[in-house]
Amino acid sequence: MKLIVDAMGGDHAPEEIVIGAALGKENCPGLQILFTGKESEIREILDANRISSQGIEIEPSETQVEMEDDPLCILKSKKDSSMARGFQLLRDGAGDAFLSAGSTGALLVGASSRIYKNKIPGVKRCAIGSVLPFQKPCLLLDSGANIEVTSEELCQFALMGKAYAEDILGVKNARIGLVNNGAEETKGTPLYVETHQALKAMAGIRFVGNVEAREIPFGACDVLVCDGFSGNLILKLAEGMGKFFSATLKEMLLSDLKSKLGALFLKKKVLAFRENFSYEKYGGAPLLGTRKPVIKAHGSSKRSAIASAVVQAERFSRADLGEKIESWIGKEQE
């Protein structure tokens, strides 16, 4: 398979993106990488790090989408940017999946646009599915793409999340939960009360009801459904708490000689604890609702996170979820 990678997207582009993609390629036999971006810079990074060009191509693009740009720019003023070029190549069959650490808004516009012809028919809105890095991973969607949603869209998120959790994360008969401020069916805004009843009535999903935020880290469900505003708050809080716990634990274990000696015996467990809270473990978030996989890597991703995102994109592409999601969405609309 061939993965298109936006080499210019992200806070640490292009160096960390190029090196990370090359590292991820090593873990995926037969994978080819097609970079979009400034060719001279990409080649300089490959040469400086002695990365073999075998299985690596470059599609030149001299402009890039900046984080402060209007997301619609990839359809208008920056149709020649590295991100826009990636979507063009995906549309034209030059690659099987697309990975970018660039602007989330622009990536969503590209994935949803009729120009790039990648959104699954029947899908109202694409959603970002982020894996919350707890001991028992939970797929959260939407985690930032859609601030305002309808009950129908939330139900579609549940179906798309179920497909990804079962086929990519290996969850059997995934449990679907709805974010809310109470477990009772009558809790929440009118939208969430309506969605609760709709999910409860849906055939083919294992709906476990409302899930309060405090229950999320304890494996209350496998797929957590909500609007993008709530989801992004949950995601950022989880990331922040992970960093807080890691920093606090480090300070505690290095506070005195006895603690340092104890830390030597706990090293493996401490590292495992830190790993559970690291977004780099998964590398990127799938944009669900597209025919061909689109993966959004964290804007601050460095090489290890990009390498993980490449592996994730490869697995996503081979699973061919687009056809399954299209079938399920179609049945719900009948």
252 and 327 together in one domain: no
79 and 134 together in one domain: no
Q: Which domain holds residue 89?
A: 1-123+289-334
Q: How far apart are alpha carbons 319 and 321 in whole angstroms? A: 6
CATH number of the domain where residue 137 is located? 3.40.718.10
- Please list the residues that pair with 58 across neighbouring strands: 35
1 and 58 together in one domain: yes
The model's pTM:
0.89
The residues near 168 (Cβ < 8 Å, ≥ 6 apart) are 286, 312, 315, 316, 319, 321
103 and 219 together in one domain: no
pLDDT in tens, 201-247: 998 899 999 999 999 999 999 999 999 999 999 998 988 887 787 78
pLDDT, residue 6, reads 98
Residue 12: CB atoms within 10 A of its CB come to 17
156 and 274 together in one domain: yes
Cβ(55)–Cβ(32) below 8 Å: yes
Residue finishing a domain among 255, 279, 303: 279
State how many domains the chain has: 2
Burial call 284-301: b when 16+ CB within 10 Å, e when fewer: bbbbbbbbbbbbbbbbeb
Query: Percentage of the chain with pLDDT > 70?
Result: 95
178 and 230 together in one domain: yes
Comparing C-alpha atoms, which of 74, 81, 60 is closest to residue 111? 74
162 and 118 together in one domain: no
What's the mean pLDDT when you consider all of the chain? 90
In this prediction, residues 173-201 reach a mean pLDDT of 95
